[in-house]
Structure 1
Amino acid sequence: MTQLKFNLDMDELTEQILNSNLNAATKGLAVAIFNAYMEAERDAHVQAKTRERSEERQDMRNGYYERDYTLPVGRLRLRVPRTRSGAFSTGLFEKYQRMDQSLVLSLVESVVSGVSTRKVTKIVEALCGESVSKSFISDIMKRLDPEIEAFRTRPLNLKQYRYLYVDAMYIKVRENHRVVSKAVYIAQGINEGNFREVLGFMVSEEESEQAWTAFFQDLRHRGLTLPKLIISDAHAGLKAAIRKEFVGSAWQRCTFHFTTNITHAMPRKDSTEQRRLLKRIFNAETPQHAKSCKAEFEAFVADDPKYEKALDILDAGFEDAIQFMMEPQAHHVSLKTSNSLERINREIRRREKVIGIFPNIDSALRLIGSILLDCHEVMTATNRKFLKD
């Protein structure tokens, strides 16, 4: 048998080595253990000692070849046993490949978390003594594609979604040797249990009715039923697509964006009281109370021509901005704005800033999909409901 005599359970010891760090085991010990493990594997395959004549012998030993094996503890140089027939093959690399996978996953997590490619190469060099190219990082990130595609195309007919939040943000992508702007469309739903879910996303051309319609049609084809209320900003193409694809659903204009539009039309100086009165309108609990607050605001600024434009904006969007008041009062604070989806957008933006310009659409889908999948898993794993009962 092998010259290295170990009175230990090799499976258990190898597992301990693989799950350890440099403080618990050195690279040298890992090499010794792995080499001994493979030697024992070959002995079991040959079924005879060195130069032993035996009817049970299955093969002849035929030296070794060297192979590098990378683990989180570093790069190991191993002596892999061979046999004359070539029939012997160690199971160590396949059996413990998950440790290579853990390194790969750590790189993927680094990229998704917003670590630049340059920094990732330094991480790899620190861990393994090896540098990697951008194409290597790209190839690693492609391992996420099946999971992201399954998440992006999953059926939506297994649950009912009462409320739907939609929004778009812009990114820069290289396309045909030019840097162009692309829109990222995102939908968030509130299910019957009052938990949030990311329902879908799409990277396409700049915001338009056609693009929003295509996005909504994908959601509907996947089984999304008519929500009671759709919350978004007032982009003209978005509104038109909502009217077309969600006939029977009410539309809630985000009150944050709406009040911002109104205040931008108001004087900046000496308008503290006017702004307080405007804010009261959308803090009202009922439509009747909101109308009363609106009348109070209008009366307060009626004699000042500087507020004419602000009053016109308020009149035009008032009804759409108080649709949330038809829902349970406990839900008002969450339904009157699209802030919960805006927070997801900011998380994407934080990590996207590291990249700056995506090299292609696929890379944008991959990174954004990874972030949204992570957000979705956090939303669905918690026991904390988004809306109060």
Structure 2
Amino acid sequence: MVEDLDVVYLWVDGVYVKAGLEKDKAAILVVLAALRDGQKVILAVESGYRESTESWAAIWRDLTRRGLAAPKVVIGDGHRGIWGALAAVFPEAKEQRCWNHRLLNVLDKLPLTRQAEARSLLTKIPYAETREAAERQKRAFQALCTKRGQAEVGRVLERDWERRVTFYQFPREHWKHLRTSNPVESPFAAVRLRTAAAKRFKKVENATAVIWKTLLIAEKTFRRLDAPELLADVASGVVYVNG
């Protein structure tokens, strides 16, 4: 039962699976938790719409019915559906936006000839040693964009900035786990999982059960968080400053 799990961190994402001939934008919505002992467990796998508040609200309602208490932080992409639904259920939970998605958003707005240089500068931001250093790196990138007549590209970094640097309030040893929603996406990277569902089912909804089972098998191989002993402090409400 979820009520028996001491959840500290949550990762959420909607992952598209090429299921049969279905043409709509249905996805597999996944919620992954890190427990107080550092173990990662799957809490929910449901079909739904990635940007739909109602799809995510249904998941949060089900998890609270099953006994889920508020996590300390939730990590996910910037889709409003996730966060609007979360705020109604767990307003006290901190939010961390995925850095991988933001960096890709910025790079997509640049010509290919400038993407390599931009990537080198952008990746320094979330790996800065302090929040203040990250803000300096952000401003340096924005200044370069302005100098080249692409100020609007630099301004993309301002969107949800406060929710993108939340990880600095948690242990430094956990930052690599908290910067992105990769812990959700990684189990789906296997082509085997996607193609197995696509071959057997016409609709995403019908593929959900087999994906649940496959993920539960994969769960046994999930790596525990680094420095799990620090999760007790996080769970008790300790807030860190630059880790």
TM-score by length of 1: 0.54
Q: Is the 8 A contact 1:165 1:187 kept in 2?
A: yes
CA distances 1:276-318 after superposition (whole Å, capped 9, x unpaired): 222211111221111121122223332221x222112111232
- Cα distance in 2 for partners of 1:254, 1:319 equals 12
What pairs up with 1:219-238 in 2 under 5 angstroms?
219-238=63-82
Q: Is the 8 A contact 1:195 1:387 kept in 2?
A: no
Alignment partner for residue 40 of structure 2, among 185, 191, 196?
196
In the alignment, structure 1 residue 376 sits paired with structure 2 residue 219? yes
Query: Following TM superposition, by how much is the alpha carbon of 1:252 offset from its aligned partner in structure 2, in angstroms?
Result: 0.7
In the alignment, structure 1 residue 245 sits paired with structure 2 residue 58? no
- Cα distance in 2 for partners of 1:275, 1:173 equals 33
Query: Percent identity at matched positions?
Result: 27
CA distances 1:250-279 after superposition (whole Å, capped 9, x unpaired): 111100111110111123214544432222
Secondary structure of the residue aligned to 2:113 is coil
Amino acid in structure 1 at the alignment position of 2:4? L
Amino acid in structure 2 at the alignment position of 1:341? V
Amino acid in structure 2 at the alignment position of 1:256? N
Amino acid in structure 2 at the alignment position of 1:162? V
Secondary structure of the residue aligned to 1:378 is coil
- Cα distance in 2 for partners of 1:361, 1:311 equals 37
Distance 1:200 1:293, change over 3 A: same
- Cα distance in 2 for partners of 1:288, 1:162 equals 26
- Structure number, greater radius of gyration: 1
Q: Is the 8 A contact 2:142 2:155 kept in 1?
A: no
In the alignment, structure 1 residue 345 sits paired with structure 2 residue 204? no
- Cα distance in 2 for partners of 1:210, 1:318 equals 25
What pairs up with 1:1-389 in 2 under 5 angstroms?
155-171=1-17, 179-181=22-24, 182-205=26-49, 207-270=51-114, 272-305=116-149, 307-347=150-190, 349-356=191-198, 358-359=201-202, 363-379=206-222, 385-389=224-228
Structure 1, unaligned runs of 5 or more: 1-154
RMSD: 2.3
More displaced 10-residue stretch of structure 1: 246-255 or 355-364? 355-364
Distance 1:362 1:324, change over 3 A: closer
More displaced 10-residue stretch of structure 1: 362-371 or 324-333? 362-371
Structure 2, unaligned runs of 5 or more: 229-243
Secondary structure of the residue aligned to 2:14 is strand
Q: Is the 8 A contact 1:173 1:180 kept in 2?
A: no
Between 1 and 2, higher relative CO (CA 8 Å, sep ≥ 6) is seen in 2
The residue number in structure 1 matching 2:231 is none
Q: Is the 8 A contact 1:228 1:249 kept in 2?
A: yes
Q: Is the 8 A contact 2:76 2:98 kept in 1?
A: yes
- Cα distance in 1 for partners of 2:204, 2:183 equals 26
- Cα distance in 1 for partners of 2:114, 2:50 equals 38
- Cα distance in 1 for partners of 2:50, 2:116 equals 37
Amino acid in structure 1 at the alignment position of 2:168? M
Query: Following TM superposition, by how much is the alpha carbon of 1:172 offset from its aligned partner in structure 2, in angstroms?
Result: 5.3
Amino acid in structure 2 at the alignment position of 1:267? P
TM-score by length of 2: 0.83
- Cα distance in 2 for partners of 1:284, 1:168 equals 28
Query: Following TM superposition, by how much is the alpha carbon of 1:355 offset from its aligned partner in structure 2, in angstroms?
Result: 4.6
